[in-house]
Structure 1
């Protein structure tokens, strides 16, 4: 991790230009079968201590019970391990960076929306020991042991924020896809509560699966899962197309210097590029472990599938993710912008 006296600016190595990455991912023709061996949780994930205080149970999984809106994904121990592994993968995708906004070397107050296990907030607090870092979530699943400058609060980001306006140097969020029902209001609240000159950054998945070489067919289980996920999310009221709108929503809210980076996130260690090979391996495990989390409530509630129908379908999807002949990926959005120094918002 970078030293505390060095600004974590946007990466210089392999950093994409603003806009979508149209570079075709090169397949590693020498990739051997061992990379596709069955993964074990002990190899890729570590659990952290958590203090979950309450929840509801559905289809054998535990979900949050706080707030007015239901978040479609669980908050049990299985999910927490996956989220920490996903943090490692997404940091690797961003060239080892926790964020790309040029926030400067000495932010004083940082807010992490939807903090999950709190791992991002904890690492940022370590990176900036002089900053107060606050992580909020609808679930109390963060560790009890935290640094003196990091704290966690139970809060629903879609409700009115109780913080003072213009009070944060940096506001961060990731993986809110299929969790937010009113993105325009959320972006507006972020604009209201970040300081003039401060930055807001979003990291969001757009899990519509693609391939550059035609190896992903329309009838492939991976492709079917993606389209089914988008259909279910729409019915659930949390459109999965939201990442495509973030740049426009930020500009409409008043942000300036808005940048949108659309990265390719591979599934499986098929890319020739070493960093993306590792990212793809993590994402293959992430899907293997997380498909049930991402699908059960969404498909049973929105599409009226039975639990058994969901689990049978996911068996096909898992098999396809480990098929080395399929070179699939989806888009990962990094969008950030700055609040103008002169603003009349209150």
Structure 2
């Protein structure tokens, strides 16, 4: 599997088409400053001296479906979704919803406290959030853009019932053929569809078909190949072993991670224009000196310590055939290394967006 390109984190590129300006999407000065700081590399905080951080038939049918969707499947003490035919690698129980909400806070902070970077219409009318999870992104968007009807879709019904009046959720599999009208969304967003998509070209083609001419589609994806710039991540470390095994498991699961660095290419092939890609560093642990990245890293440390079992158990046991006891030993060492402030590791995080051309 190809290694990610990380030597120019916060790299960007644009595509000129249809007579538009060479740079269609201008980020705010704040974002550009944050990207420049990220591009220069993350400076470790020298203060971290210790090695660890402290209706009738219809009604009956719907009832049956609702029961199927909500009952879930249990494996190794964790609950997973039971809707649709495709397996999703991660659980949907309460610990997982807590993790997802924490990840929302982390990624929003990483993106300079923005929900998206695409230069969308300031008054969007219809927005689709794919793989909405707990729905927190859709809810936040709906509260900010009261003009918009925001729809969040997911395999699991784990979203809250109290939501803004302009926000609603649907249980759906994004890889099935969509039933929405074509050219019907001003903006389509998706974040961290890791180990959930088996046919990325089809999914991207469906976003192209259903976004309005002039509308944008944006992907925000963690690329879980753990790296380090300063040699502090030992070869054959538990973090690297976990990262490599995670990639192998994703391949065996049919949801290859190698597609993330190709999102820009696939969007261009689908017909999008003004496609831009940014790759930023997502630190594991609060080792960076930069306050924003220190906060991001602290969130991700909790993810790697408290949430890594949910990210790992089904994938490694079912896709790789690893015994549960062996997985637990590996995760024990992963947690230990993640908490070691002398290891300056991070993930590449991709932000890719593009516009459907006007007709």
TM-score normalised over the length of structure 1: 0.89
- For the structure 1 residues 290 and 228, does the alpha-carbon distance in structure 2 shift closer, same or farther, using more than 3 Å as the test? same
- For the structure 1 residues 178 and 142, does the alpha-carbon distance in structure 2 shift closer, same or farther, using more than 3 Å as the test? same
Give 2:206's match in structure 1, choosing from 169, 183, 189: 189
Asked if 2 retains the 8 angstrom alpha-carbon contact of 1:166 and 1:196, the reply is yes
Asked if 2 retains the 8 angstrom alpha-carbon contact of 1:18 and 1:259, the reply is no
Listed one character per residue, the Cα deviations across residues 268-299 of structure 1 (whole Å, up to 9, x for unaligned) are 11111110011011100111121111110000
Distance in 1 separating the partners of 2:39 and 2:197: 28
Give the SS at the match of 1:106. Answer: coil
Residue number in structure 2 paired with 1:47: none
Determine if the alignment matches structure 1 residue 113 to structure 2 residue 130: yes
Give 1:57's match in structure 2, choosing from 74, 78, 82: 74
Determine if the alignment matches structure 1 residue 141 to structure 2 residue 158: yes
Determine if the alignment matches structure 1 residue 176 to structure 2 residue 188: no
Determine if the alignment matches structure 1 residue 252 to structure 2 residue 269: yes
Count of aligned positions: 320
Determine if the alignment matches structure 1 residue 311 to structure 2 residue 328: yes
Asked if 2 retains the 8 angstrom alpha-carbon contact of 1:10 and 1:99, the reply is no
**C-alpha displacement at 1:35, in angstroms?**
8.1
**C-alpha displacement at 1:179, in angstroms?**
1.1
Asked if 1 retains the 8 angstrom alpha-carbon contact of 2:155 and 2:171, the reply is yes
Listed one character per residue, the Cα deviations across residues 167-187 of structure 1 (whole Å, up to 9, x for unaligned) are 000000001021100000000
Determine if the alignment matches structure 1 residue 70 to structure 2 residue 87: yes
Distance in 1 separating the partners of 2:122 and 2:139: 17
**C-alpha displacement at 1:12, in angstroms?**
2.1
**C-alpha displacement at 1:18, in angstroms?**
9.3
Give the SS at the match of 2:30. Answer: coil
Give the SS at the match of 1:73. Answer: coil
Give 2:341's match in structure 1, choosing from 313, 324, 331: 324
Residue number in structure 2 paired with 1:277: 294
Give the SS at the match of 2:307. Answer: helix
Give the SS at the match of 1:238. Answer: coil
Decide which structure has greater helix share. Answer: 2
Determine if the alignment matches structure 1 residue 161 to structure 2 residue 178: yes
Distance in 2 separating the partners of 1:119 and 1:321: 27
CA RMSD of aligned residues (A): 1.8
Determine if the alignment matches structure 1 residue 261 to structure 2 residue 278: yes
Asked if 1 retains the 8 angstrom alpha-carbon contact of 2:154 and 2:170, the reply is yes
Give the SS at the match of 1:36. Answer: coil
Listed one character per residue, the Cα deviations across residues 109-131 of structure 1 (whole Å, up to 9, x for unaligned) are 00000000000000000001111
Distance in 1 separating the partners of 2:307 and 2:175: 24
Distance in 2 separating the partners of 1:272 and 1:166: 45
Residue number in structure 1 paired with 2:258: 241
Stretches of structure 2 that go unaligned for 5 or more consecutive residues are 1-24, 55-68
- For the structure 1 residues 164 and 16, does the alpha-carbon distance in structure 2 shift closer, same or farther, using more than 3 Å as the test? farther
Q: Which stretch shifts more, 177-186 or 27-36?
A: 27-36
**C-alpha displacement at 1:133, in angstroms?**
0.2
**C-alpha displacement at 1:11, in angstroms?**
3.6
TM-score normalised over the length of structure 2: 0.86
Give 1:151's match in structure 2, choosing from 168, 180, 185: 168
Distance in 2 separating the partners of 1:205 and 1:96: 17
Distance in 1 separating the partners of 2:104 and 2:348: 16
Asked if 2 retains the 8 angstrom alpha-carbon contact of 1:172 and 1:201, the reply is yes
Asked if 1 retains the 8 angstrom alpha-carbon contact of 2:224 and 2:348, the reply is yes
